[in-house]
Amino acid sequence: MIHRDAFSKMDKDTRRKATIGIFGRTGEGKSSLLNAVLGQFLLPSGGFGACTAVITQVEANLNDSNYIAEIELISKEEWESEIASPGKGEDNQLTEMIKERIIALYGADAENKTLEELKRDDKYTEIYNVLSDGKKKISSSDPSEFVSSVGRYLEHNLANPGGWYWPLVKCVTIKIPNCRELLEHIVLVDLPGTGDCDKIRDDLWKTKIRECSSVWIVSDIKRAVTDRDPWEILQHCIEDLGPGGECKYINFICTKTDDMKPAEHLRSTKLTEAQTPGHSLDVKTKCIVDRNNLAKRTIKQKLYSSKSEESKERFITDVFTVSSTAYFDENSHLEPSETEIPKLRDILINLNKSINQKLTRDYINEAKGVLSLIQSVQLDKEKNMKKVIEDLQTNIVKELKLLDGHFEDLYETLKRCLSKGVEESVRSCVNTTQDMLSSVRPKGNRGFHKIFRAMCGRGGFYWPRKWNEPLDLNKCLTKHMYDNINEEFVLMFPVNDNDKRTEKSIQDKLDKFSIIQCFFSTTPMPHPIHIFIQTQETKLKASLSRVIVEKKKEIYSSIYTTIQKNMAPGYKRAAEETGDGAMQRMENATIETIEQLKHQMFNEAKVKALDAFNELKLHIMKTLESELKRSVKRSLSHTSKTTLLDVSREIQELEALSQQLHT
């Protein structure tokens, strides 16, 4: 039995937790869903308005039996900037969002106060004290006491405004005790609904999306098929999840399935009671089961018809129909299994178990390598050691040369795609921008100048609350660049494990890289030092795999961030336009900036992406060379020592353990 403390010795990169992102509009039942999956009421649920603007992470507390909340706050300067912005009076939507925050903090009578009046309010000092540390930690062994304390940083109580701190919060991490089986290696992230974020939290929202290895799209079953919102979330985030991220699974979760009126369902589906599934069930349960089955079929069809062929292969998708209320209700019409909450819990348990098994295998293999090195001294007192070491050193040079050639081919491919993207962008960016603005501009420009100004004020990205997707001019400008690299980029950096066996996959080439492979193919009984080197290679590759994923995100996002940075002065000028005809002048200023900078900024985006790719190559090559040389040198130094230890039995036991974990 391997002690859990042993895992702390492993490379931290290989222990990064799996992140499951939970998307959905406010009121769709995300918090209730999480409470049901966790089996306890820890997160606020109900009509709390914009409280979902707070990004909430849930993970296991593995250290003690306390419930812990780590709260990250915005800065004093960021808060002052927020409450000063309504004074401009240009964007009613933005103003309403900020008023909502001011009322939550100060109370209902604060809505029409000026910044100076707010500063004279007693609560202003209280707010500054809250923000003074930048972070706050709440810890309690009593779950009820914990929920009450954390509530002020998460909830938006419309019935009792004033003294609610969620407007000051960037992110909350909640750590729950006694849930090792469920969340030891998993983080659940409740992401804000569309339009609920503000400027301060936009970047954090995008960062969290790119960290997700799995996504749950949550929607009320009554609206799951017809409501555009969840589908727009999915479509807008598909690049950040796939080529720009690390998502492998997308699950669509229909909530509130117990909210059913049988007569209405029978009428709408033109079914009789006898035609509904489940002869032994009561009418309501029959109708719930029938609607659940119908929703699953319809959503699966829509998921596949709405995604490109490339996306279908990239993500493994499933649909669940759940009822959080029925799961907790002992008198419910539904059995716990029919609420499908146990299915979601099983997903977490099985994922957690698979990560645990991988970590255990890695640890066993590393221990086996060390023992093999000890055993090599018993078997070979430097008789053939010099030849073995020389062969290993030769193989390092040989294998690195092959890997370098592969990287050079990929670099040229990426360069070619980016160059084509630059050409198309320079040629078409102005027309593409004008077409995009025409497609989203309402008739008569009614109110559009306010949205456009908010977009410019936020660096080219703004998601109005009532829109199903954001107004993202940077994404529009980068369209041709991404269109030209996406196909090759996915081949170089596949997300799905099944796609790693391609000729262009960097991960596949790393997996096949080995300085001892030839020994295993030609020698019936490999030298123990070869086993030691193999375990060092495995550990090294695991660490570099994490680097590949993170660097891939940097390469992909560098195109967007370069364009956004270049456009920033133009956005600022456009946002400053006021008075009659301001909309036309804002648009003109934006188009002029694009026209002036198009050659420079698209070429710079190309260079930045290629430089980031080259940095990845150099890091992998240098790390492999230095670490493997160190391992070979370590092997040589150990063979000059004598030992009386016989560890052959221990090696056999580790082999047996390793085999058990693979079955």
376 in Cβ contact with 532 (< 8 Å): yes
CA 357 to chain CA centroid, nearest Å: 23
d(Cα 323, Cα 343) in Å, to the nearest integer? 12
pLDDT score for 107: 85
Round the average pLDDT of the chain to a whole number and report it. Answer: 82
From the list 604, 242, 210, the residue with the least C-alpha distance to 421 is 604
* pLDDT, position 554: 94
Residue positions counted in the chain: 663
H-helix or E-strand spanning residue 59: strand 55-60
Q: Which range has the worst mean pLDDT, 167-181, 337-351, 555-569, 642-656?
A: 642-656
The CA dihedral of 93, 96, 98, 101, to the nearest 10 degrees, is -140
pLDDT at residue 378 greater than cutoff 60? no
- In whole angstroms, how large is the CA radius of gyration of the chain? 29
pLDDT at 297 over 50: yes
CA distance 198 to 632: 53
Q: Which two tokens stand for residue 137?
A: 């930690």
**Is the C-alpha dihedral spanning 219, 24, 456, 93 positive or negative?**
positive
Query: Lowest mean pLDDT: which of 203-207, 342-346, 349-353, 572-576?
Result: 203-207
Q: Which residue has the tokens 């050079």?
A: 408
Instruction: Give the torsion through C-alpha atoms of 286, 287, 292, 298, to 10 deg.
Output: 130
**CB–CB of 539/362 below 8 Å?**
yes
pLDDT at residue 342 tops 90 = yes
Burial 503-522 (b: 16+ CB within 10 A, else e): ebbbbbbbeebbbbeebeee
Which of 383 and 459 is assigned the larger pLDDT? 459
The CB density around residue 470, as the number of other CB atoms within 10 Å, is 19
Nearest to 576 by CA among 55, 242, 88: 88
CB atoms within 10 A of CB 116: 7
Query: How large a percentage of the chain has pLDDT more than 90?
Result: 41
What pLDDT is attached to residue 97? 73
* Distance (Å, whole) CA 491 – CA 506: 9
For residues 442 and 482, the answer to whether their CB atoms sit within 8 Å is no
pLDDT for 2 beyond 50: no
State residue 428's pLDDT score.
96
Q: Which residue has the tokens 């559009």?
A: 448
Span 255-272, mean pLDDT? 84
Contact partners, residue 420, CB within 8 Å, separation at least 6? 484
Task: Please give the C-alpha separations between residue 634 and each of 203, 374, 497, in angstroms, as whole numbers.
Answer: 44, 12, 33
- Phi and psi (nearest 5°) for 524? -60, -40
Can you give the pLDDT at residue 497? Answer: 60
Which segment, 20-24, 110-114, 237-241, 623-627, is predicted with the most confidence on average?
623-627
- Quote the DSSP letter at residue 192: P
* 440, 446 Cβ separation under 8 angstroms: no
How confident is the model over 406-418, as pLDDT tens digits? 999 999 999 999 9
The pLDDT of residue 48: 44
Return the higher-pLDDT residue of 588 and 52: 588
Q: Is the pLDDT of residue 308 over 50?
A: no
pLDDT level of residue 86 (50, 70, 90 thresholds): very low
Mean pLDDT confidence for 134-139: 93
If one compares 500 and 145, the residue with the highest pLDDT of the two is 145
The pLDDT-based confidence of 46 (bands split at 50, 70, 90) is low
Residue 24 has pLDDT above 90, yes or no: no
Query: Could you read off the pLDDT of 477-499 as tens digits, one per residue?
Result: 999 999 999 999 989 998 766 55
Q: Which helix (H) or strand (E) holds 427?
A: helix 385-440
Helices (H), 523-581: 528-575
Q: Are 194 and 25 in contact (CB under 8 A)?
A: yes
Distance CA 115, CA 200 (A): 19
Query: 28 pLDDT band (50/70/90 cuts)?
Result: confident
pLDDT at 592: 96
CB atoms within 10 A of CB 89: 9
What is the phi-psi region of residue 503: left when phi exceeds 0, alpha when psi lies from -120 to 50, beta otherwise? alpha
Q: What is the average pLDDT across 148-159?
A: 81
Range list of H helices, 259-383: 262-269, 283-306, 309-314, 324-328, 341-379
pTM for the whole thing? 0.84
Output 373 or 493, whichever has higher pLDDT: 493
∠ Cα 224 230 234 (to 5°): 135
Burial class (CB in 10 A: 0-12, 13-18, 19+), 80: middle
Rounded Cα distance between 170 and 202, Å, is 10
The beta strands (E) that lie in 378-535 are given as 461-462, 471-472
**CA dist., res. 218 & res. 221, Å (int):** 9
Quote the crossing angle between the two packed helices 528-575 and 385-440, to the nearest 10°. Answer: 20
575: left (phi over 0), alpha (psi -120 to 50) or beta: alpha
Top mean-pLDDT range of 19-23, 400-404, 439-443, 634-638: 400-404
Residue 155, pLDDT score: 77
pLDDT score of 64: 95
**Span of 41-50, 387-396, 564-573 with lowest mean pLDDT:** 41-50
pLDDT digits (tens, 9 = 90+) for 622-659: 999 999 998 888 776 655 554 555 666 766 676 677 66
> CA 511: distance to chain centroid?
24
Angstrom distance (rounded) from CA 492 to CA 504? 5
CB contact at 8 A, 214 and 461: no
User: Which residues on adjacent β-strands are paired with residue 21?
Assistant: 189, 215
Distance in Å from the first CA to the final CA of the chain: 18
Residue for token pair 């990169």: 13
Which has more pLDDT, 629 or 380?
629
The pLDDT of residue 615 is 97
In which element (H, E) is residue 58 found?
strand 55-60
pLDDT at residue 569 in the model: 96
Cβ neighbours, 10 Å, residue 364: 21
Query: Does pLDDT of 601 surpass 50?
Result: yes
Distances (CA, A) of 299 to 223, 302, 481: 11, 5, 32
The predicted pLDDT at position 317 comes to: 81
